[in-house]
Amino acid sequence: MSFPQAEIVKIINDLEAILVVDEAYADFAEDTSIPLLFEADNLIVTRTFSKSYSLAGSRVGYAVSSPQIIEVLDNVREVYNLDRMSQAAAHAALSDKSYFEDCKEKILNERQKAHTFFTSLGWRTVESQANFIFTEPVTRGGKVGKEVAKSLFEYLESQNVFVRYFSNHRLTESKIRISIGTKDQMITLIQTIKNWLN
């Protein structure tokens, strides 16, 4: 889920401080706050290579903002804040735009198929702007809740299909988070869910 741009503009205008917008999943989203930087001098947009560029663990990211804010950030950052291996990996990732676009398109297609599948089951599914889906499973008998989500999570795990289950908060305890995988992985996921339902 992402904030509508109009809401971000309102926050920027009402805020007497710097607003940081985390766009870790921006490559999978429809909107970006980058154009707002031309209108706002109190905005920082951050991005990472961990998600869409598959460089989790390399700690590569960046901030986009006004020259004044970037100057302040540059003065307080560590001198050697990015090792050579991470720099080389980021450079390689940026060098192959067609591969990146191909991977992104596949993820977006699989995400849409998964969303359609879950909603066809009557599962409340968040309209995703990321490389994962958050959904609330419902049994064939219409049962929903923490025990249902836990049951599905455990069944999937027993079948070597791994998803995330956040049982420690009332807003998430009845839901599971599914990262979008390859076409074959998503077919396996859907078939395994069908088996659980039966």
Q: What pLDDT, in 10s, does the model give residues 96-123? A: 999 999 999 999 999 999 999 999 999 9
Among the candidates 95, 122, 157, a domain finishes at 95
Of the pLDDT bands very low, low, confident and very high (cuts 50, 70, 90), residue 2 is low
Q: What pLDDT, in 10s, does the model give residues 48-73? A: 999 988 888 889 999 999 999 999 99
Among the candidates 46, 69, 95, a domain finishes at 95
Q: Are residues 19 and 73 in the same domain?
A: yes
Q: Are residues 61 and 150 in the same domain?
A: no
CATH code (residue 133): 3.90.1150.10
Q: What pLDDT, in 10s, does the model give residues 118-143? A: 999 999 999 999 999 999 999 999 99
Q: What is the pLDDT of residue 5?
A: 83
Predicted structure pTM score: 0.83
Q: What is the pLDDT of residue 90?
A: 94
CATH code (residue 55): 3.40.640.10
Q: How far apart are CA 56 and CA 47, in angstroms?
A: 12
Domain range for 51? 5-95
Q: What is the pLDDT of residue 53?
A: 87
Of the pLDDT bands very low, low, confident and very high (cuts 50, 70, 90), residue 35 is very high
Task: Give the mean pLDDT of the chain.
Answer: 93
Among the candidates 95, 125, 147, a domain finishes at 95
Mean pLDDT calculated for residue range 22-35: 90
Q: What is the pLDDT of residue 6?
A: 85
